[in-house]
Amino acid sequence: MHDVVVVGAGPAGSRYARRAAERGLDVLVFEQGTVGEPLACSGHVSTDIWAYTGESARDELFQNEISGARFHTGGPGSADHPFYKDEVISNVIDRVGLDRHLADLAREAGADVREDHTVVGVSEERDGVTVTVRGPDGVETHQAKLVAGCDGPKSRVRRELDLPEPDELLHGVLGFTDEVDHGDFVDVHLTVPKFFAWRIPRGEAGVEYGLAVPPGDDARGRFEEFCAGYGVEPDHRCSGLIPIGPSRRVTGHRSFLVGDAAAQTKPFTGGGILYGMTAADHAAREIAPDDPGTLGDYERAWRADLRSEIRLGHAVRAGYSVPKPLQKMGMRAFEGEIGVHMDRPTTLFSREQLKALLSRS
């Protein structure tokens, strides 16, 4: 019997598998296809990402440096409100390569990572879990003490075990062109209902265009209109769901969710790489497979760490939907140099942000 079966080898799943294996646990990981594919997520991340990778990762994955953002209340070519730092705020990276790199780190730590294995059934029993998988050699059944659902917004583990759903699922669309752009500003357009559209320069790797919309909205049509405003026709596109708002419970009797499966994402951007890996570290530290009661320790730990960030993130997102005159007024008041961390909205009240505001007066 394995200690833990991990379903999904994205950043959260691979990070948990690595940390759990380093603690001496027997960890088996299933990924339904090839790790990192298909791409369905932006590669714009804070520089904190390198604390979770190996030493060679930056040389392999880095594409561009970002030091600020231009916010627009209109479409391409409209007036903008710049926010920036006199230092690098974030990096643009090879997103597929990141997944593969993190999965390799899990393997090096001792986790058994198996690609092309689709989980088709999960059940909890008194003394463990049964995970049924369809692989290259047919259907397999595996026993473990616990199962970790790290399998994304439409988590099979979450559905099979009847765990609560996220508050909301947005529909995101990405497109990529081969324009070479080493600019250090991203463009954010508050023209999409309840969310936004973006343009991210990726250096030699091209430019990323994207947006996300609530369910029922015309994501594809809005994306076509957005790209037309920039005068581009992306030569590669992808789409995916973005979970917003973790439910009241992300654990079962012998199960737990991490990452997008648990909606451990930033409500104001939809990004979940850092929040998911932060929660994965809490899971590896707190959960003991021989003591299912420690699942509650995981619930308390990750919520204590991220609760304030997620709550304030919801407040930031609410600002996307206020009338445009109020949006412009607020952006004029805060535009310029900032002291905010892109993953931690609580830094809006930090000493660094206060200094940045005072320096303008």
List the chain domain ranges.
Answer: 1-42+94-166+246-320, 44-93+168-244+322-361
Q: Which of 295, 229, 260, 47 is nearest to 151 (CA)?
A: 260
Q: For residues 97 and 83, what is the distance between their CA atoms, to the nearest angstrom?
A: 29
Give me the pLDDT at residue 360, please. 66
CB contact burial 77-111 (16+ within 10 A = b; e otherwise): eeebbebbbeeebbbbbbbbbbbbbbbebbbebbb
Give me the pLDDT at residue 333, please. 79
Give me the pLDDT at residue 130, please. 98
Q: For residues 298 and 291, what is the distance between their CA atoms, to the nearest angstrom?
A: 12
Give me the pLDDT at residue 351, please. 83
Give me the pLDDT at residue 338, please. 86
Residues 6+ apart with CB under 8 A from 211: 172, 173, 189, 192, 195, 196, 197, 198, 219, 222, 223, 226
Give me the pLDDT at residue 188, please. 97
CATH architecture of 1-42+94-166+246-320: 3-Layer(bba) Sandwich (3.50)
Give me the pLDDT at residue 100, please. 97
Terminal Cα-to-Cα distance of the chain (whole angstroms): 64
Give me the pLDDT at residue 361, please. 58
Q: Specify the pairing of strand 2-7 against strand 27-30.
A: parallel
Q: For residues 41 and 274, what is the distance between their CA atoms, to the nearest angstrom?
A: 13
As separate numbers, helices (DSSP H) first and strands (DSSP E) second, the chain gives 9, 18
Q: Is 253 helix (H, G, I), strand (E, B) or coil?
A: coil
Residues 6+ apart with CB under 8 A from 126: none
Judge: domain 44-93+168-244+322-361, CATH 2.40.10: no
- H or E element at residue 14: helix 11-22
**What token pair was written down for 122?**
């999960």
The angle at the Cα of 205, spanning 200 to 210, to the nearest 5 degrees, equals 30
10-residue stretch averages of pLDDT, the chain, 361 residues long:
97 98 98 91 94 95 97 92 93 97 98 97 96 96 98 97 96 96 97 95 97 93 96 93 95 98 96 97 98 98 97 93 88 85 87 74 58
Contact 70, 82 (CB under 8 A): yes
